[in-house]
């Protein structure tokens, strides 16, 4: 439901997901969710609350979702730590640069195109979306 709130919104879009890792009411499967947020251009910031180290599938999916959309993933054991996580997300969103690229490829319009951004010096890090739909 929260993703639909972004319909028609222009500019940078981000959604913070606080989860215990248990899926109890999804209307869509995971792969459909990933495709939707990639097409909508929404960065996902996932916060896993009290997710055990043994729950590798949950961590994999949350990490993949954030990575594919240019977001980040955080894991906390206590709600007491949430304030600092929210502060980090706020700082991250306020300190981003937006790069725009216009492709000369006029081929298929609905095919996923991969993107890679490299920065110098190598001590710097770029966190970006993994691609886009034209």
Per-residue model confidence as pLDDT tens digits over 23-57: 777 778 888 888 888 888 889 999 999 998 778 98
Q: Which of 38, 41, 76 lies closest to 59 in space, CA to CA?
A: 76
- Inside any domain, residue 116: no
How many distinct structural domains can be found in the chain?
1
**Phi first, then psi: what are they for 14, rounded to 5°?**
-145, 145
- Inside any domain, residue 55: yes
- Inside any domain, residue 47: yes
pLDDT at residue 1 in the model: 59
- Residue 76 pairs with which residues in a beta bridge? 49
90-99: long-range pairs with CB below 8 Å, 24+: 92/45, 93/12, 93/14, 96/12, 98/12
Tokens read off for 11 = 């500019």
Containing structural domain, residue 85 = 2-97
- Inside any domain, residue 125: no
- Inside any domain, residue 13: yes
Q: At residue 3, does pLDDT exceed 80?
A: no
- Inside any domain, residue 58: yes
Which pTM value belongs to this model? 0.80
- Inside any domain, residue 129: no
- Rounded distance between C-alpha atoms, residue 93 and residue 5, angstroms: 19
Indicate which CATH number applies to the domain containing 15. 3.40.50.410
Q: For the segment 56-89, what is each residue's pLDDT rounded down to a tens digit?
A: 988 999 999 999 889 999 999 999 999 999 999 9
DSSP readout, 2-31? GGGGGTT--S-EEEEEEE-S--SS-SS-HH
User: Does 6 or 66 have the greater pLDDT score?
Assistant: 66
């Amino acid at each position: 439901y929260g993703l639909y709130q972004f319909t028609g919104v222009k500019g940078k879009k981000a959604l913070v997901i606080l989860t215990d890792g248990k899926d109890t009411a999804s209307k869509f499967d995971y792969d459909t969710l990933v495709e939707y947020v990639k097409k909508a251009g929404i960065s996902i910031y996932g916060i896993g609350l009290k997710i055990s180290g043994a729950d590798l599938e949950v961590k994999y999916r949350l990490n993949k979702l954030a990575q594919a959309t240019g977001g980040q993933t955080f894991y906390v054991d206590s709600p007491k730590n949430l304030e600092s996580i929210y502060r980090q997300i706020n700082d991250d969103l306020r300190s981003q640069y937006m790069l725009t690229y216009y492709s000369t490829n006029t081929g298929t319009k609905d095919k996923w195109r991969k993107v890679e951004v490299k920065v110098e010096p190598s001590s710097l890090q770029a966190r970006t979306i993994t691609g886009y739909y034209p």
